[in-house]
Amino acid sequence: MDLKNFSFSCPFCKHLLNDSEEIELVTKRDSGTEGRIFMSVAFGNYTFRHIPETNFTLREIVDFLCPHCQTDLKAPNHKNFAQLNMDVGHNISFDVIFSREAGKRKTYVITEDGIETYQG
């Protein structure tokens, strides 16, 4: 599946969150420190870049916010996951949830056919 053909958007304001290669989100830590994270659109690729550069502590829970509406992207039914929409076609989108826990590399795509799991 070529994910560069899909768009990722905020489930609240519906604003586009990615270019062809990266998804951009705001991070917020318990200390109140905020930054910008740029994550790969490829499932299973858990590399990222962060501005400013930072090292997340293993098992640290990070909040992810939409850079446009500033809404917390915490998944409503999975408190340690963040949720995005993956727009795959005309008015068709799937939920994508990914771990908010640093070091826990898990992503799930929820479709009408079931749940696809990715981990690294």
- Tens-place pLDDT, residues 24-52: 999 999 999 999 999 999 888 999 999 99
Between residues 65 and 44, the one the model is more confident about: 65
Q: Which domain holds residue 93?
A: 3-119
How confident is the model over 2-30, as pLDDT tens digits? Answer: 455 689 999 999 999 998 789 999 999 99
Q: How many domains in the chain?
A: 1
Alpha-carbon distance values, 41 to 9, 33, 59, 108 (Å): 12, 25, 23, 13
Could you tell me the pLDDT band of residue 1, with boundaries at 50, 70 and 90? Answer: very low
Residue 116, strand partner residues: 109
